[in-house]
Amino acid sequence: MPELRENEQKTLLTLEKLKGKAPVDQIVKRSGLAHAAVMRASLSLTENKLLRTYEKQQTLTSLSAEGRSYAEIGLPERRLHNALIKLGGEAKVNSVVEEAGLEKKFLSVALGWINRKGWATIKQGMLKSLKEAPPGDDEKLLRLLSEKESVIVEDLGQELQKTVSVLKGRKLVEIEEKTLRELELTDDGWNLVKKGIEVQEEISQLTPELIRTGSWRKVKLRKFNVKAPGPEVFLGKIHPAQQIIQHVREIFLEMGFTEIRGSIVQTAFWNFDALFQPQDHPARDVVDTFYLAHPEKGKLPEKDVVEAVAATHENGWNTGSRGWEYSWSPEEAKRLVLRTHTTATTIRYLSEHKEPPVKVFSVDRVYRNEKLDYKHLAEFHQIEGIIMDKKVTLRDLMGTLKEFYHKLGLEKVQFWPSYFPYTEPSMQSTVYVPELKTWVELCGMGIFRPEVLAPFGVKHPVLAWGGGLERLILLKLGIEDIRLLYKNDLGWIRRTPVCQR
């Protein structure tokens, strides 16, 4: 016979007192042990054949709030009938209602039931009692439930079980399914408790005291049961989208980039003008861009830079370009926007870091005035990067992007000519997604135009790229509806595996 632990001894002794068989809850109450302690003890005692465990599904029913009030004041049909009797057995519905003190909203229910139960008839606004109405099963059950917290449905007779469903239909009772665990002493168990168990206190934690005084030699130390199941724990988990964002960050870091971040609110100057986007460019329209109402405007950078940007827009300044040939407005450039792309962050960084080499990236939120649907959100993420060095070329840009995509597990990459106001040449990259058997557009890219670099005094070529991240997230997670990312659907979040590297 294996040595018993304290909680096992106590569980056996409590069961003895309860005549050898009892539900776990009762043992918990009687022994003073924690529920988990009894469950653990029962597991090893069952293993040692001292106990048997039974499991039973039980349906518990208890009064709802409405049911509790009816148990006190009576069902509406009962109140109506009582009032009717008081008025001599026949009276106008209105007078009966008044006599009963019944709220209007319960009237149709009360009339319905009084009719169904055959207590009275209604004709031309007159209510007429048909018979004495002894308390029905529903009222008996209400009474019973008001005396007890809950009742086990299976213990009720068939008729009353039916009544439970009727009351449930009237929303007067609530139903709860429960598993009842019962423990029973086996013959071996009985023999053991009959021989007498002396509960020996166990120490579950060694203290400095026990060690210093040497009394640890004498006390009984509780053994670990390494087979005992632990409670189910739902660990905190990083949202799948955040996991992918983190993955993207790590890839950039591996490739030797440094992360930069910028503020979400930017002046139109940094979001558009500094990137040589003309002030009448359609993307600047309120249809595409969120403008701030309070405050409406921000500050422009130092005068030289602003003048250079203005001149570049108007006539090309010293860049050899003709510019956009319109009159540039500093007021338009001061307007505050929620950045529409993270290129606002990189150009701003560049304006303060003109010396090569520069190799930075950003993964951040951007905003566009989009109609929301399963493919579009007004708030989303972009990945963005720039490389500035003395001798970098378009080949380097394509190579860098290829490496980035490869690290994300996207093997086939294609580059297409494209257009952005701030790059020349400009390209679009598409990647092949085997699971979808299709090509998907990801980052746009190019080499910043002299019209972008000259006003900030940047002398070396700058490779730039950027694009939305959500499409990549959807691909990686194998989902189609972008809104799922923001639904806080815990089931989906739990099921979605941790990003694999």
* Inter-residue contact 5 to 223 (CB < 8 Å): yes
Q: Which one among 110, 142, 454, 464 touches ligand PHE, defined by CB under 6 A?
A: 464
**Least separation in angstroms between CB 313 and ligand PHE:** 18
Amino acid occupying residue 477: L
> Judged by CB under 6 A, which stretch of 17-25, 98-106, 281-289, 464-472 contacts ligand PHE?
464-472
- What strand order describes the sheet that includes 126-129? 90-92, 126-129, 120-123
**Least separation in angstroms between CB 423 and ligand PHE:** 5
Q: Which one among 33, 363, 445, 474 touches ligand PHE, defined by CB under 6 A?
A: 445
How many residues bind ligand PHE (CB under 6 A)? The answer is 11
Binding to ligand PHE by residue 428, rule CB under 6 A? Answer: no
Binding to ligand PHE by residue 381, rule CB under 6 A? Answer: no
Pattern 104-143, ligand PHE, x by CB under 6 A: ----------------------------------------
Q: Which is nearer to ligand PHE, 44 or 426 (CB)?
A: 426
Binding to ligand PHE by residue 313, rule CB under 6 A? Answer: no
Q: Which one among 423, 429, 430, 496 touches ligand PHE, defined by CB under 6 A?
A: 423
Tokens 């020349």 belong to 424
**Least separation in angstroms between CB 275 and ligand PHE:** 8
Alpha carbon 9 to its chain's center: 44
Residues 467-486 contacting ligand PHE, CB under 6 A: 467
**How far is 319 from 163, CA to CA, in rounded Å?**
89
Closest CA to 277 of 445, 419, 450, 420: 420
Binding to ligand PHE by residue 262, rule CB under 6 A? Answer: no
- DSSP letters along 263-321, please? -SEEEHHHHTGGGT--TT-GGGSTTT-PBPSSS-B-----HHHHHHHHHHHHH-TTTT-
Q: Which one among 44, 465, 482, 485 touches ligand PHE, defined by CB under 6 A?
A: 465
Q: Which is nearer to ligand PHE, 301 or 425 (CB)?
A: 425
* Inter-residue contact 173 to 67 (CB < 8 Å): yes
Binding to ligand PHE by residue 388, rule CB under 6 A? Answer: no
Q: Which is nearer to ligand PHE, 350 or 454 (CB)?
A: 350
> Judged by CB under 6 A, which stretch of 123-131, 193-201, 232-240, 444-452 contacts ligand PHE?
444-452
Binding to ligand PHE by residue 257, rule CB under 6 A? Answer: no
* Inter-residue contact 106 to 140 (CB < 8 Å): no
Binding to ligand PHE by residue 452, rule CB under 6 A? Answer: no
Q: Which is nearer to ligand PHE, 45 or 248 (CB)?
A: 248
278 prior amide bond cis, ω within 30: no
Which residue number is nearest to ligand PHE in terms of Cβ?
466
Q: Which is nearer to ligand PHE, 137 or 441 (CB)?
A: 441
> Judged by CB under 6 A, which stretch of 3-11, 48-56, 89-97, 459-467 contacts ligand PHE?
459-467
Amino acid occupying residue 215: S
- Say if strands 358-367 and 258-259 run parallel, antiparallel, or are unpaired: parallel
* Inter-residue contact 288 to 369 (CB < 8 Å): yes
**Least separation in angstroms between CB 416 and ligand PHE:** 13
**How far is 411 from 400, CA to CA, in rounded Å?**
13
Q: Which one among 444, 450, 455, 461 touches ligand PHE, defined by CB under 6 A?
A: 444
**Least separation in angstroms between CB 301 and ligand PHE:** 20
Amino acid occupying residue 374: Y
List helix spans (H) across 5-153. Answer: 6-17, 24-31, 35-47, 65-73, 76-86, 93-100, 107-116, 137-147
Count CB-CB contacts under 10 A for residue 463. 24
Pattern 179-218, ligand PHE, x by CB under 6 A: ----------------------------------------
Residues 332-351 contacting ligand PHE, CB under 6 A: 341, 343
Burial 181-191 (b: 16+ CB within 10 A, else e): bbbebbeebee
Binding to ligand PHE by residue 361, rule CB under 6 A? Answer: no
Would you tell me the crossing angle of helices 6-17 and 24-31 to the nearest 10 degrees?
Answer: 110
Amino acid occupying residue 247: H
> Judged by CB under 6 A, which stretch of 98-106, 140-148, 276-284, 460-468 contacts ligand PHE?
460-468
**How far is 489 from 311, CA to CA, in rounded Å?**
52
Which residues here bind ligand PHE, judged by CB under 6 A? 341, 343, 420, 423, 444-446, 464-467
